[in-house]
Amino acid sequence: MTYHFRTCPDCDDRAYDVAAKLASEAHRGEHRAIRAREIERDLDFGGGDGRRAREIVEHLRAVHRAPICSTATNGAPGFFWPTSREDTEHTSAAFRSRLGKMQATLRGFEAGRDELWPAQDDLFGRGVSRG
């Protein structure tokens, strides 16, 4: 399996460092997952809470299309490079589950907003909030 990392003008060197670390043999497969704060510690960046590493992984997935997987093995979430398509399917299923929950939350939130401040039609028949 060969992955060709795409470069982009928005990346700093940390993104390339994180991608290289996760794609290395040391983190291939779910059993070799590494926590975000450990990535920051090993690469000497971030605040130590894992937030910056998680942001970089999100960028790598969205912009560079890097198939970085995540897991919650023994309650400890971590990132790893997939060794099979099955690895990626587990991560995709987790994304779909979160997306469904977020959509339901958004629908409920907007319904509550519309009860408090009903939309009014503008000249073109489009609902426009007036509150």
123 inside domain: no
- Taking all residues of the chain, what is their mean pLDDT, rounded to a whole number? 86
130 inside domain: no
CATH of the domain at 73: 1.10.10
Q: How confident is the model at residue 127 (pLDDT cuts 50, 70, 90)?
A: low
119 inside domain: no
6 inside domain: no
Give the pTM.
Answer: 0.77
pLDDT higher than 80, residue 105: yes
**Which tens digits make up the pLDDT trace of 5-23?**
777 888 888 898 999 899 9
2 inside domain: no
3-state per-residue secondary structure call for the chain: CCCCCCCCCCCCHHHHHHHHHHHCHHHECHHHCECHHHHHHHHCCCCCCCHHHHHHHHHHHHCCCCCCEEEEECCEEEEEECCCHHHHHHHHHHHHHHHHHHHHHHHHHHHHHHHHCCEEECCCCCEEECC
Q: How many domains does the chain have?
A: 1
5 inside domain: no
Range(s) of the domain holding residue 55: 13-114
**Which tens digits make up the pLDDT trace of 48-87?**
899 999 999 999 999 999 999 998 655 667 999 999 999 9
